[in-house]
Amino acid sequence: QVQLVESGGGLVQPGGSLRLSCAARGSSFRFNAMAWYRQVPGKEREMVARITGVGSPIYADSVKGRFTISTDNARSTLYLQMNGLKPDDTAVYYCNRYAGAMYPWGQGTQVTVSS
What confidence tens digit (pLDDT) does each residue in 13-31 have?
Answer: 999 999 999 998 865 667 8
Which pLDDT value is given to residue 2?
A: 84
What confidence tens digit (pLDDT) does each residue in 80-107 have?
Answer: 999 999 999 999 999 999 988 899 999 9
Three-state DSSP class for 24? Answer: strand
Which pLDDT value is given to residue 53?
A: 66
Nearest Cα to 93, choosing from 35, 28, 26, 13? Answer: 35
